[in-house]
Amino acid sequence: MRRFFVYLVAASLVLMPTLVGSQQAEKPSGNSPPDTTAVKAQAPVEQPPAKEGDCETAKKEGAKEGERETNRVGWTVVGMFFPLSGPFIAAGVNPGQPSEAALHFSANPACFTQGYRNKKKSGRIKSAVIGNLVYLSFVALIMVADRSSEPQY
C-alpha cells in the first residue's frame, strides 16, 4: 500500500507541469480587449467585399482568438472523468460565436468565425484526449503498484 502512494505522488509530480503549463497558456497576455461601448455607439460601417486572401487572414485571426478563449483545463478534466466519451463530448459541444468586439475588427466576419470555431473545437478535443491519457496513466500506475504489492510465492 505504501508503494501505491509513492507511485501516486510521483505520477502527480510528473503530470502537474503539463496541467499547469496549459493553464498558464490560457491566461490573457495583459492586452485588454477594445472598449465595446464606443463600438456599439457608432453607426454600422459597410465593409468592402472581401478578397480571397482576406479570408485566409481572417481565419488565422479567428484561430488565434479561438485558441485564446479555449478552456483547456476544464476540457482536460472532462477527459479524465469521462475517459471514453470525453473527446466525443468535446467534439459535440457547440464552440459558440466570437465576441462582437473581435468580429468588428475583422475584415471578413464569416471567415473569422469559421477559423474561431475550428480552432476552439480542436483545442477542446486535444485537451479531452490529454485528460484521457492522464486517466489511463493513473490506472496503469495503480495496476502496477497493486501488482508489485502482491506476495510472491
Q: Express each pLDDT in 78-134 by its tens digit.
A: 999 988 888 888 888 888 888 887 777 777 888 989 999 999 999 999 999 999 999
Which residues form the domain of 102?
A: 2-25+52-148
Give the pLDDT score at 121: 93
Residue of 97 and 21 predicted with greater confidence: 97
- The Cα–Cα gap between 26 and 73 comes to 9
Residue of 48 and 120 predicted with greater confidence: 120
Work out the mean pLDDT of the chain and round it to a whole number.
74
Q: What is the pTM of this model?
A: 0.60
Q: What is the DSSP string of 131-142?
A: HHHHHHHHHHHH
Q: Is residue 39 part of a domain?
A: no
- The grid coordinates of residue 21 equal 503549463
Q: Is residue 61 part of a domain?
A: yes
- The Cα–Cα gap between 92 and 46 comes to 35
State yes or no: pLDDT of 21 exceeds 60: no
Q: Is residue 46 part of a domain?
A: no
In the chain, % helix, strand, coil (3-state, to 5) comes to 75, 0, 25
Q: Is residue 93 part of a domain?
A: yes
Q: Is residue 123 part of a domain?
A: yes
Q: Is residue 142 part of a domain?
A: yes
State yes or no: pLDDT of 29 exceeds 80: no
Q: Is residue 86 part of a domain?
A: yes
Eight-class DSSP state of 83:
T
At 53, the pLDDT band (50, 70, 90 cuts) reads low
Eight-class DSSP state of 105:
T
